[in-house]
Amino acid sequence: MILAEAAKRIGATVQAVAGKETEFSRRRDRVARFLQKMLERSAISGAGGEPYFGPGIDVILSKDYYSDAPIEPMTETHEVDNDQYIQVTSNIIKELCEGDNVVIVGRGGNMILKDVPNVFHVGIIAPRERRISTIMQREHMDYTTAALFVDEHELARESFYERFFAVAPNDPNYYHMIVNMRDIDQDVVAKIVSHAAQDLES
């Protein structure tokens, strides 16, 4: 897991590191704090890249992961240095890329690996209502909460790409292909991407 390894190298909790992908300026009322926590859990589980095309929110690491650390890990996102975060994350992603058949979801992987040969960059998009419906079903949320989550996630994603890469997350110039999931289910998208990647290799 990229975030877990980054947290270990930086000396922070996974939640603190995950916050780098979800932090942005919003009013801190009860709903906003709840949604921020959901975004962090989504980033930790791997759904942070695309909430409508990824696993559910089901991964939280225990403190045992940090038992070998010489000092207490940083627990707040603001304690994690931006430059160190992006450098460590980039190193981990590039190390993973040295193996075969690696799939990087989110984490700005398309920007970090944009100049690396034999890497196939795919963008996944979907209409707002499709994303809301997916979140409602997967996380058992009501419509209003799911809509807030989707909107906050998109704001966080845009902020993350702008802060670390100075680009828009859905800029087609940084992908080989972009797939719109409006009328296509996940299995079909997987087949399309797999076929395109095989053609690219040949």
Q: Convert 143-154 to b/e letters by CB count within 10 Å (16 or more is b).
A: eebbbbbbebbe
pTM score, whole prediction: 0.75
State CA 73 to chain mean position distance: 22
Tokens of residue 78, six digits: 């603001």
Q: Give the closest residue to 107 by CA, choosing from 9, 37, 20.
A: 20
Whole-angstrom Cα Rg for the chain = 17
Asked whether 66 and 194 are in contact (CB, 8 A), the reply is no
Checking if the pLDDT of 62 tops 80, the result is no
Checking if the pLDDT of 72 tops 90, the result is no
Q: What is the pLDDT of residues 81-135, one digit of tens each?
A: 999 999 999 999 999 988 777 888 888 999 999 998 889 999 999 999 999 999 9
Domain 2-201 is in which class? alpha beta
Checking if the pLDDT of 66 tops 70, the result is no
Q: What is the pLDDT of residues 185-198, one digit of tens each?
A: 889 998 998 888 88
